[in-house]
Amino acid sequence: MVGTVKKDKAMWHRLVEPMGFLFGPMAQEAIRQGVALPFQNSTAAFTAVLLIEGDSASGPVPVGAVPHAWLPVMQRLVSPVPDAGLPAGPLVMGILNTTPDSFSCAGQHYHAGSALQAAEQMVRDGAGVLDIGGESTRPGAAVVSPQQEWERVGPVLEGLRQSMPDVPLSVDTRNSLVMERALAAGARVINDVSALGHDPAALPLLAKQQCGVVLMHMRGTPQTMEQHTHYTDVACDVVRELGQRVEAAVEAGIARERLMVDPGFGFAKTQEQNVVLLRRILLLANLGCRVVCALSRKRMIGTLTGVADPAQRDSGTVAASLMAMPFGNPLLRVHAVASMAQGVRVWQGVQGG
> What is the per-residue pLDDT across 217-234, written as a single tens digit (0 to 9) for each?
999 988 899 999 999 999
- Please report, rounded to a whole number, the percentage of residues in the chain having pLDDT higher than 90: 88
Our answer to whether residue 298 is catalytic in this structure is yes
Instruction: Give the residue among 177, 193, 199 at the shortest CA–CA distance from 225.
Output: 193
Per-residue confidence (pLDDT) for residue 111, from 0 to 100? 62
Angle between helices 146-163 and 176-184 (to 10 degrees): 20
Per-residue confidence (pLDDT) for residue 40, from 0 to 100? 96
Catalytic entry in 188, 258, 297, 298: 298
pLDDT band at 353 (very low <50, low <70, confident <90, very high): low
> What is the per-residue pLDDT across 56-68, written as a single tens digit (0 to 9) for each?
999 999 999 999 9
Query: What is the distance in angstroms between the CA of the first residue and the CA of the last residue of the chain?
Result: 47
Distance CA 96, CA 142 (A): 19
Distance CA 166, CA 133 (A): 19
Catalytic entry in 219, 269, 280, 333: 333
Per-residue confidence (pLDDT) for residue 9, from 0 to 100? 59
Per-residue confidence (pLDDT) for residue 115, from 0 to 100? 87
Per-residue confidence (pLDDT) for residue 114, from 0 to 100? 84
Average pLDDT over residues 157-167: 94
Distance CA 296, CA 317 (A): 5
Per-residue confidence (pLDDT) for residue 143, from 0 to 100? 81
Bridge partners of 290? 260
Of 3-17, 47-61, 117-131, the range with the lowest mean pLDDT is 3-17
> What is the per-residue pLDDT across 333-346, written as a single tens digit (0 to 9) for each?
999 999 999 999 99
> What is the per-residue pLDDT across 296-334, written as a single tens digit (0 to 9) for each?
999 999 999 999 999 999 999 999 999 999 999 999 999
Our answer to whether residue 333 is catalytic in this structure is yes
Per-residue confidence (pLDDT) for residue 2, from 0 to 100? 31
> What is the per-residue pLDDT across 263-284, written as a single tens digit (0 to 9) for each?
999 999 999 999 999 999 999 9
Distance CA 123, CA 223 (A): 33
Distance CA 203, CA 249 (A): 7
Average pLDDT over residues 230-256: 98
